[in-house]
Structure 1
Amino acid sequence: MPLLHRTIKLVLATCVAINLANLIHLSSPTSAGIIAILSLLDTRRASLKTAWARLWSTILALAIASLAFSLFGFHLLTLGLYLCLYVPLAYKANLTAGIAPCTVLVTHLFLEQSTSLTLIGNELALFLIGAGIALIANLYMPSQDKQIQAYHEEVEQGLKAILLRFQDLLLTGDGRNEAQLITQLDQTLQKALEVVYLDRHNQVFHQTNYQVHYFEMRLAQNKMLRTMARNINKFSLESREAVILANLFDRTALQLSRHNPGHELLEDIELFHQAFRERPLPQTREEFEARATLFQLLHDIEAFIQLKVDFYEQYAYEN
């Protein structure tokens, strides 16, 4: 969430919560503002999950405190006893997010020297107002769609550049490949995944794994490209097979779009396998090693394309 949006939300949620608590004449209305601040998290899902946990934490805290104060009086040692009982139970029940705000509410009982239903209702109302206003404020989240689409374009252009670079290296056989484009694409993919993970956590009722799995698929493909880059660096012999494989890299680069299923490329690879099998056997050790490297590259590009095909078949309805 951008800092400006977060700041505006914090200010509005705090002021609205305190004002609402004042309007209905609750005691200690500023506590509603504090709870609103603590409940305003970076994503809708996190805010909703935390608010739900803190509700149960508040109920548990007020129940333990009421019992302790009723039995042992309003003493500092009793407040300590409450903490000794409440904190371990909160940890055991995975309600630790509520320890601080709930204890603030309990101190109101201690200061007022009362465990009346009216006062307990006041504390519950403070919590509900603070958490509720925070949830309402988080209904608005700036859309990440444009940024995600921009990453789609950047990633596909990055993959295309790498594949065309491989084509050039196979044709020239100069072995000068430092994988800089692959490293740059890795960085872009990590940034893209951060954005789509955040966007997914803002989808409470309508969730899809499409964007997450898309960029994870591209990350796996880029890892394969790094392996291919090392093999291409070993290759320096001009041959008919190298030209055929270079053409395959070119065709793959032109069909990278997520809207392209990639089935035709797999069919082409089968034809390349057949063409390679029909070629004369290598006559020298250098030719044999070059042929082995080319076969490995062919298998690698096949696995690269298969990842895309599997992804398309799973998410064809969202393309």
Structure 2
Amino acid sequence: MKKFIGMRTLKTAVGATLAIIISSALGLKYAAAAGIIVILSIQNTKKTSIYLAMQRFGSTILALFIAGVLFTIVGYTPVAFGLYLIIFIPLAVKFKMADGIVVSSVLVSHLLVERSISPYWIKNELLLMGVGAGIGILFNIYMPKIDREIKKDQIYIEDKMIEILAHMAKTLRSQSVYIGEEQLFKELQERLIIGSERAYRNLNNYVNEESKYYVKYMEMRTLQFEILKYMRGNFERFYKTFAQTEIVAAFTERVALDLHENNNAEGLLEDLKSVFEACSIQKLPETREEFENRAILFQFLKDLEYLLEVKRNFILKTKEY
């Protein structure tokens, strides 16, 4: 059952409240603005939170400078604020500070209302940003670990791939495509997307070897998924079952059984060479139909080889970390 109030919601509410209390205690005007900044600063990852805080600090300094110049020349009028936006927004985008446009403009509006760019008000706006962004970063230091969820994703993904390969072996023998195959691929794809998102979120919160591993793992499985989709297309072109088909089907079943996370695929790749040899010593095709079927089987084996090479390369690279 999904929680009604999540961790991010709780942190946002508590952080915004605390920001307003601290800003008021410091004697800052428009203390509620610090609470709004906290709301915009609480993110899903530590990295994003810090990055946005830096953007907003930079955009605030730029905004206050432009507004100060324009309010001095044009006066504290709506026209001056419009000119400020015309100049500030393109510059904020150019300097990659677009996420700070709204917050910085809200702070500038305080100067417009107060009709002043005195050091007191400049300090007031900078402190509002400092309190809001600072609490946002502070509250984002704690991020609940999602390792367990990622491990569950791994198990689910492996189980689905095993199931798909097992059905491929059956299809090779019977030429009868599994009815639920489309659903299997759909479920696998959806979980790969979820797992990849979790892995990257974990990396942005905890930059360590384990979090990097999860990202690489999801990338490896995603590539294998694309290979499986390509292999699946071969079944539409099969006509009959031949001796070579049984050899390939048996090996496909073995791959399914040994597809787990820690298998480096070296043994399977060695055995695949034997499968190629076993197929090559079979008598030459006598009909066009048999020739085409043999060619499709060969392509299927090459795709299976690529699938295993992707796994082997993943294991080799992870050993380097």
Give distance in 2, aligned partners of 1:70 and 1:205. Answer: 50
Deviations 1:37-94 (A, max 9, x none): 1222232222211111110111111112222333444344333333333233223222
**Identical counterparts, % of pairs:** 35
Give distance in 1, aligned partners of 2:296 and 2:90. Answer: 61
Give distance in 2, aligned partners of 1:86 and 1:252. Answer: 59
Instruction: Tell me the residue number matched to 1:302.
Output: 305
The change in CA–CA distance for 1:276 and 1:17 in structure 2 (over 3 A counts) is same
Q: CA deviation at 1:251?
A: 1.6
| Range moving further from structure 2, 291-300 or 75-84 | 75-84
The change in CA–CA distance for 1:140 and 1:188 in structure 2 (over 3 A counts) is same
| Range moving further from structure 2, 301-310 or 191-200 | 191-200
Match of 1:315 among 304, 307, 318: 318
The change in CA–CA distance for 1:162 and 1:9 in structure 2 (over 3 A counts) is same
2:61 counterpart of 1:69: no
Residues 175 and 232, structure 1, Cα contact 8 Å, conserved in 2: no
The change in CA–CA distance for 1:207 and 1:283 in structure 2 (over 3 A counts) is closer
Residues 221 and 304, structure 1, Cα contact 8 Å, conserved in 2: yes
Give distance in 2, aligned partners of 1:169 and 1:84. Answer: 64
Give distance in 2, aligned partners of 1:88 and 1:14. Answer: 29
- In the TM superposition, 1:196-211 aligns within 5 A as 196-203=199-206, 208-211=211-214
- In the TM superposition, 1:43-62 aligns within 5 A as 43-62=45-64
Q: CA deviation at 1:19?
A: 0.7
Secondary structure of 1:120's match? helix
Secondary structure of 2:17's match? helix
Q: CA deviation at 1:103?
A: 1.9
Instruction: Tell me the residue number matched to 2:26.
Output: 24
Instruction: Tell me the residue number matched to 1:167.
Output: 169
Instruction: Tell me the residue number matched to 2:93.
Output: 91
Instruction: Tell me the residue number matched to 1:81.
Output: 83
Q: CA deviation at 1:315?
A: 1.3
Secondary structure of 1:27's match? coil
Instruction: Tell me the residue number matched to 1:177.
Output: 178
2:114 counterpart of 1:145: no
Q: Aligned letter for 2:168?
A: F
Give distance in 1, aligned partners of 2:254 and 2:208. Answer: 40
Q: CA deviation at 1:233?
A: 4.1
| Range moving further from structure 2, 79-88 or 18-27 | 79-88
2:15 counterpart of 1:13: yes
Instruction: Tell me the residue number matched to 1:135.
Output: 137
| Range moving further from structure 2, 9-18 or 224-233 | 224-233
Residues 177 and 233, structure 1, Cα contact 8 Å, conserved in 2: no
Instruction: Tell me the residue number matched to 1:190.
Output: 193
Give distance in 2, aligned partners of 1:163 and 1:73. Answer: 72
Residues 199 and 211, structure 2, Cα contact 8 Å, conserved in 1: no
Instruction: Tell me the residue number matched to 1:278.
Output: 281
Secondary structure of 1:177's match? coil
How large is the Cα RMSD of the aligned pairs?
2.4
Q: Aligned letter for 2:243?
A: R
Q: Aligned letter for 2:39?
A: I
Q: CA deviation at 1:205?
A: 7.6
Secondary structure of 2:285's match? coil
Q: CA deviation at 1:22?
A: 1.4
Give distance in 1, aligned partners of 2:208 and 2:307. Answer: 34
| Range moving further from structure 2, 275-284 or 10-19 | 275-284
Give distance in 2, aligned partners of 1:79 and 1:286. Answer: 77
Give distance in 1, aligned partners of 2:198 and 2:102. Answer: 30
Give distance in 2, aligned partners of 1:235 and 1:106. Answer: 69
Instruction: Tell me the residue number matched to 1:123.
Output: 125
Output the TM-score relative to the length of structure 1: 0.90
Give distance in 2, aligned partners of 1:229 and 1:91. Answer: 45
The change in CA–CA distance for 1:74 and 1:166 in structure 2 (over 3 A counts) is closer
- Where structure 2 has 5 or more consecutive residues not aligned to the other structure, the ranges are none
2:228 counterpart of 1:225: yes
- Where structure 1 has 5 or more consecutive residues not aligned to the other structure, the ranges are none
2:244 counterpart of 1:215: no
Q: CA deviation at 1:263?
A: 0.7
The change in CA–CA distance for 1:170 and 1:206 in structure 2 (over 3 A counts) is closer
Q: Aligned letter for 1:275?
A: A
